Structure 1
């Protein structure tokens, strides 16, 4: 009999007993054994729990939480061959949205996972240099998107309280505080090419997936299993925000003086001054250089038999 492990962020759950009953009921109806339960903690937000699930040789690992929990579980599952299922319980739920997973109903999402198909998707390997000596002192796996500059500033200023009250609208609300943010001089090198001339940028976004909450297609051509990372460079000052936002919301990939879309297998970004970087919503401080590379089809995810991005 197949068995799953549940890796749950308890902060996202109002009634843990009810969750156990619901999940175990659905599992039984689909012919699965009762799952092994693991709860994340502040000290271990999902890594050790997932490693234990791998050691237990379960058939499926189910991540129940927000984008951070999903990323931590995904990081540990890389190379294990065990598929990841997602029960979304966060504000963005971006990987789930991009894979066409059920977002609003926990039981529906679990049934879809148990009866679904496996899909191998890419991940991004992010290395951060905070000292400027050319050696990465931080690294992480990214499943959806990494942002350098304004995007990370918005993430850093979006409180858990605001997210609880406003949902995904918390991010544009927080973004209004940064409307006067100055641009940061950055240099970019794609693949093995030399660095391009330095230019002042508001933000550089590197995506494995391209859809945000609210139906926004930030990177219209991005697919999570296409073997390339999508790069979006934005450069705007206060007076030019309106046309930039209009172009982004229209899902256009046209290059202008403010917007540039490109693809690559790797990217290097050098910042003139310490800059915040966000990786699937988790903020890292004081980056002077960032390197991001693609890891093709490195993560197996359970998706519905018929799934479309939401």
Structure 2
């Protein structure tokens, strides 16, 4: 039993964990642990933020979320400023946030972590755009179009392969470039590119790829990447990274990288913005870092 927690709310995305008997697994782990727990379900228009806020008002000392990275982001927004820690029970397609934080992607093991007295609380940074937090990154350009192509139906049918199918559908037609004007902590940069990533975490996808070893959710900085060139270069960058399992930041001049506490982004033409693979809105945007925004239960090693 973990003496840190006595009362927990579990927020469940019912679309998560295709075929996984999630409640049975949770019940078998939590029973007998001295942990009172209740369940709430996300719904369209109430996708985790409201349930997390209600749990805080009800006096829980832990909020667990079962779902993918988008659901985790929504719950984190509901916990902002409360000091109540979040536990992650991975149930998505990629489970990238869990992988970044070394949280088991197996549901039973992730549930056991909550009850493990060796577990610790790690405060992680969050990106912020118009008072909305994200944990992974903001995607503009080609990555945002991949997120749009990878529909729920594709994820249910193909799992993580849905993102590769979506990538091929996005990359192999002619890829449009955009003009990016970035203001990084008051330093202005203009460049043409096919994609822009504003990252809080370095892990991308499920292939152990990383944007760079120095991309950390604990450094108080955003990492801004701009893929500068066209279709052939972009495909080369991605395939080289996959083939060699290396960091994308090692791939040279086609990828620019800066660090900043705040970035203002303007584009021509307007670009869609996806936060943690969920559509948020369009450019322009002002994105800032919120250091230590969310306490998360992580392994104690």
Aligned equivalent of 1:185: 179
Question: What TM-score, normalized to structure 1?
Answer: 0.87
Aligned equivalent of 1:131: none
Gap regions ≥5 residues in structure 1: 128-138
- Contact 1:46 / 1:73 at 8 angstroms: preserved in 2? yes
- Contact 2:17 / 2:92 at 8 angstroms: preserved in 1? no
- Contact 2:227 / 2:234 at 8 angstroms: preserved in 1? no
What is the Cα deviation at residue 273 of structure 1?
A: 1.6
Give yes or no for the alignment of 1:3 onto 2:7. Answer: yes
Aligned equivalent of 2:289: 294
Give yes or no for the alignment of 1:158 onto 2:150. Answer: yes
Aligned equivalent of 2:85: 83
**Deviations 1:109-151, CA, capped at 9 Å, x for gaps:** 1111222110000000024xxxxxxxxxxx5211111111111
Q: Distance in 1 between matches of 2:235 and 2:140?
A: 21
Aligned equivalent of 2:98: 96
Q: Distance in 2 between matches of 1:172 and 1:14?
A: 19
Alpha-carbon spacing, 1:85–1:123, altered in 2? closer, same or farther (3 Å): same
Gap regions ≥5 residues in structure 2: none
Aligned equivalent of 2:59: 57
Matches within 5 A, 1:107-126: 107-115=108-116, 116-126=119-129
Aligned equivalent of 1:140: 132
Query: Any idea what SS the aligned residue of 2:159 has?
Result: helix
Matches within 5 A, 1:17-28: 19-28=22-31
- Contact 1:254 / 1:260 at 8 angstroms: preserved in 2? no
- Contact 2:237 / 2:251 at 8 angstroms: preserved in 1? no
Question: What TM-score, normalized to structure 2?
Answer: 0.90
Q: Distance in 1 between matches of 2:16 and 2:247?
A: 32
Of the three residues 152, 169, 172, the one matched with 2:164 is 172
**Deviations 1:145-204, CA, capped at 9 Å, x for gaps:** 1111111111111121211222222112211122221111111111122x22x3211111
Q: Distance in 2 between matches of 1:211 and 1:280?
A: 12
Q: Distance in 1 between matches of 2:25 and 2:170?
A: 42
**Deviations 1:235-260, CA, capped at 9 Å, x for gaps:** 23233234422564521534743111
Q: Distance in 2 between matches of 1:175 and 1:81?
A: 38
RMSD: 2.0
Alpha-carbon spacing, 1:294–1:219, altered in 2? closer, same or farther (3 Å): same
Runs of 4+ with >6 A deviation: none
